[in-house]
Structure 1
Amino acid sequence: MTAYDAIVLAGGAAERLGGADKPGVLVGGRSLLDRVLAACAGAGTTVVVGGRRPTGRPVTWTREVPAGGGPLAALGAGVRHTTAEHVLVLSADLPFLGASTVGALLAAAGEDSREGALCTDPGGRDQPLVAVYRAEPLRRELALVATEHGSLAGLPLRLLTAELDLARVEAGPLDSFDCDTWEDIATARARIREHGTVLDEWITAVKNELGIDLDVDTGLLLDLARDAAHGVARPAAPLTTFLVGYAAAKASSGDAPEAVADAVAEAARKAAALALRWEEEAGATKSEADPQ
């Protein structure tokens, strides 16, 4: 993947939220800012433009001048702290932005003749705060706009994007979903609890809370829990999965995350086989007691 730095714009007055600290609003137990930071975890340097607040990983903090000067001024402040050839620019209110969309933007921006790439939402509207820009033309255009207008404060982003040759990447309906109102927040909170997404959202939140950077086969663990509950007893499900995690941690202490994931898978396979043996044994005992 193309090396990049990231700038996350986390300022603004959030007037439609009654002045609430929008980047700090929780969706699925994680702040909006942390959800965005997770999508750009591959950045070499991540700069957050806005007031300091707790984050799930280290970032570089800066502020636009004057404070509240708008997204163009914030972008100008953030880019001073970046060194990579490509700069990912994101707003801090994108609860469903995924790493795959970041990768698509980086790939499109990496084309030889392009000066960057931005997302377009399902309505075809450009999203300049879900974008990747080449650093050199970005700095050039920011300097030209500042010279022409005296400063970047209060200016619209289109003054920048109109002068750059940008590729367009179609975003999914959720990737560009931003939270401007409490209704948007309520929609996001309801969306993560839907049947098809709630487990992934919950596991991600738990790993974030516990400081675990590990991808495991959740399907394998769910199958194990089912087998233990069905073949042994219902309380066996959570206890068995706990013991699998403990065994994996003990067997792979100090190893890379990939080795830990392999250890989880191996322990889960052993425990699942044991649960099936218990079930078979119970069935055999019943048939022996009632040989009809």
Structure 2
Amino acid sequence: MLAGGAAGRLGGADKPALSVGGRTLLDRVLGACADAGDTVVVGPRRPTARAVRWAREQPPGGGPLAALAAGLRHTAAATTLVLSADLPFLRAETVRSLLAEVVRGGSGVEGVLLADPGGRDQPLVAAYRTEPLRRELALLATEYGSLSGLPLRLLTAELSLGRLPHPDASFDCDTWEDVAAARARIRDDGRVLDEWITAAKAELGIDLDVDTTALLDLARDAAHGVARPAAPLTTFLVGYAAAQRGGGPEAVAELTRKAVGLARRWAEEAEGPGGTAPAGRSGAAPGEAAGGQGQQPGDKAEESE
């Protein structure tokens, strides 16, 4: 996963650390690829919800190809999932579909890219066979003397690639408007409860498939038909997590504080700093390439796995 870059259109903010739906963008992407045998994050070290291996391109800020090469040095897997760290709507099922398409394509397919609704390739939301990646990166390094600053299209143009269309998984947060749109979408399009439960489980350190319909029916019956969905479900998760730790008032108190902290962060997103685009940060700086780091339009040069 590539989690570096200057985030020029965000005024230099630490983009992977921005919160969407109570979780950082980086943690959201890490959650989508939790089944990976080994996870390498290329970029500055940051707190993460699960353990990862860190790597850094040299020099720092050398762009996506340099970052990708740095990450590949830490994996021996036959297939490499390459993801940017600013994908709020990426889901595990999409990741599994990318990997399955690589297998289905056989030896004639060296990778599968996600295609956005406009049909544009997303080379940093993709699964690649590792050896072709190593081969082409080595050839580019020899040809240009360095991978630093080179655009992703130089790599993808040399690979035999399949495409997997998806309506929203490639949505990325390059600007403050993108961040605000992602936060609003999570709250307003019917996914808010699922998003909250996922965030709460991650915060509490539990992995549990919650039958929300049954629990909400029970809550409505107990409350004589008055439903406050997030409250009973969150309380249930706190109790479950406390039981996993052996129970007791200390466990309940600690986990309740965590859930309260998550709820406060959730609420602050709509009102606190970064909730709307700060003045002067709504567009690209003069002369800045889209996404920074010298990539071409349609490329993403900041983040992958």
TM-score by length of 1: 0.78
Uncovered stretches (5+) of structure 2, i.e. residues with no partner: 247-305
Determine the C-alpha separation between the residues in 1 that align with 2:191 and 2:6. Answer: 31
1:23 paired to 2:16? yes
Aligned to 1:78: 71
1:1-292 matched pairs, under 5 angstroms: 8-110=1-103, 111-112=105-106, 113-172=108-167, 174-230=168-224, 242=235, 246=239
Equivalent pairs: percent with the same residue?
70
Task: Show CA shifts across 1:184-236 (max 9, x none).
Answer: 000001011015100001001111111111112111101110111117x889x
Q: Is the 8 A contact 2:200 2:234 kept in 1?
A: no
Compared CA separation, residues 153 and 193, structure 1 to 2 (3 A): same
Runs of 4+ residues over 3 Å off in structure 1: 237-250
Q: Is the 8 A contact 1:224 1:241 kept in 2?
A: no
Q: Which has the higher contact order (CA 8 A, sep 6+)?
A: 2
Pairwise CA RMSD of aligned residues? 2.4
How far has the Cα of 1:242 moved from its partner?
4.8
Compared CA separation, residues 224 and 43, structure 1 to 2 (3 A): same
Determine the C-alpha separation between the residues in 2 that align with 1:10 and 1:120. Answer: 21
Uncovered stretches (5+) of structure 1, i.e. residues with no partner: 1-7, 255-292
Paired letter, 1:30: R
Task: Show CA shifts across 1:219-271 (max 9, x none).
Answer: 1101110111117x889x96799579858976x889xxxxxxxxxxxxxxxxx
Q: Is the 8 A contact 1:228 1:240 kept in 2?
A: no
Determine the C-alpha separation between the residues in 2 that align with 1:239 and 1:133. Answer: 43
Compared CA separation, residues 14 and 234, structure 1 to 2 (3 A): closer
**Greater C-alpha radius of gyration:** 1
TM-score by length of 2: 0.75
Q: Is the 8 A contact 1:11 1:49 kept in 2?
A: yes
Determine the C-alpha separation between the residues in 2 that align with 1:248 and 1:69. Answer: 42
Determine the C-alpha separation between the residues in 2 that align with 1:240 and 1:141. Answer: 49
Paired letter, 2:119: G
